[in-house]
Amino acid sequence: MVKIIMHGCCGHMGQVISDLVEKDANAEIVAGIDVTDKGNTSYQVFTDIHECKTEADVLIDFSSAKAADALLDYCVERNLPVVLCTTGLSEEQLAKVEETAKKIPVLKSANMSLGINTLMKLIQDAAKVLATAGFDMEIVEKHHRLKLDAPSGTALALADSLNEAMDNQYHYVYDRSQRRQQRDDKEIGISAVRGGTIVGEHEVIFAGTDEVIEFKHTAYSKAIFGKGAIEAAKFLAGKPAGRYDMADVIEG
Ligand SMILES: NC(=O)C1=CN([C@@H]2O[C@H](COP(=O)(O)OP(=O)(O)OC[C@H]3O[C@@H](n4cnc5c(N)ncnc54)[C@H](OP(=O)(O)O)[C@@H]3O)[C@@H](O)[C@H]2O)C=CC1
Ligand SMILES: O=C(O)C1=N[C@H](C(=O)O)C[C@H](O)C1
């Protein structure tokens, strides 16, 4: 039985995970942490992270980038493995994640779904053929109106996959509104749409002369992220310090 502290427990993903864990005989949420206790959990909620001293095997985080520094310090102090799912971290925070992973197990992934993690591999093979043949690469992501960060962490991770497959020769363009020139060969354009209750859509477009190939992933519910995060928590508990990602969980 894996004992979990849920960071961001009162938010949308915190609630999805709480519901999934209720039905899971091999996992239990032993405490929650959030800025305010919204009264929507069945377990104790701490509004000051340092007051949460509950014994646990792992912490799952779906909160806010603003919380990342204090969270990483807390997990190091407590020697607590952390599944880091929050997106929109700054370059400095991403560097801190890498430093933290030298001390404790850290699994960071912008997208916990099996589909997106499979897509990340598929597009690398496509890029090696199509981008090498001169196809342009663009990413379009769509999310709900409540999302704070843009572009999505997943869009950036998809761009990183493409770039890695192409020996990191590409750069990212987020906004062409001030441009009065053609795109260059080595750019990956990333566009963000926000509206309504869209759970999450990601399109990777390879556009060549007279032909286009599109890869698309659609999330129809947040449960796909929740299930992945719980699997990741079970995987990470008891592991040595290091940097892990969803590929480690999926490949076993
Ligand atoms: N990796 C993945 O697969 C996925 C990642 N995400 C990411 O997870 C994050 C959360 O998403 P979501 O659940 O939809 O967002 P919500 O805003 O619904 O939930 C976040 C929760 O964290 C709370 N919170 C804010 N600041 C802090 C803090 N300093 N300490 C503790 N808790 C805090 C919020 O409180 P309050 O409401 O008062 O601000 C809220 O209760 C986002 O970054 C999102 O992009 C989302 C889905 C999938
Ligand atoms: O905020 C969300 O909702 C999501 N955020 C993640 C991201 O930024 O990629 C993952 C998912 O698409 C939902």
**Is residue 215 over pLDDT 90?**
yes
Annotated binding-site positions: 8-13, 37-38, 85-87, 109-112, 144, 153-154
State the chain's mean pLDDT as an integer.
Answer: 98
Distance of CA 127 to the CA centre of its chain: 22
Q: Which of 96, 147, 227, 239 is catalytic?
A: 147
User: How high is the pLDDT of residue 86?
Assistant: 98
For 114-219, give the CATH class. Answer: alpha beta
The whole-angstrom separation of Cα 127 and Cα 141 is 18
Residue extents of the structural domains in the chain: 2-108+222-251, 114-219
User: How high is the pLDDT of residue 252?
Assistant: 80
**Helix residue ranges, H only, 131-215:** 153-165
Give the number of the ligand closest to the Cα of residue 143.
Answer: 2
Per-residue pLDDT tens digits for 84-101: 999 999 999 999 999 999
**Is residue 106 over pLDDT 90?**
yes
Q: How far is ligand 1, taken at its centre, from the CA of residue 245, in Å? A: 19
Residue to probe by mutation, ligand 1, list 7, 17, 35, 89, most atoms within 8 Å of CB: 35
Q: What is the pTM of this model?
A: 0.97
Note the CATH architecture for domain 2-108+222-251. 3-Layer(aba) Sandwich (3.40)
Q: How much is the average pLDDT of 27-54?
A: 97
- Let me know if 217 is a catalytic residue: no
- Let me know if 202 is a catalytic residue: no
**Is residue 11 over pLDDT 90?**
yes
Instruction: Tell me if residue 6 falls in helix, strand or coil.
Output: strand
Q: Which residues pair with 212 in a beta bridge?
A: 207
Hunting for tokens 């192409």 — which residue is that? 166
117 lines ligand 1 (CB under 6 A): no
**Contact residues for 204 (Cβ-Cβ < 8 A; gap 6+):** 119, 123, 126, 137, 138, 139, 158, 162, 214, 215, 216
ipTM of the complex: 0.99
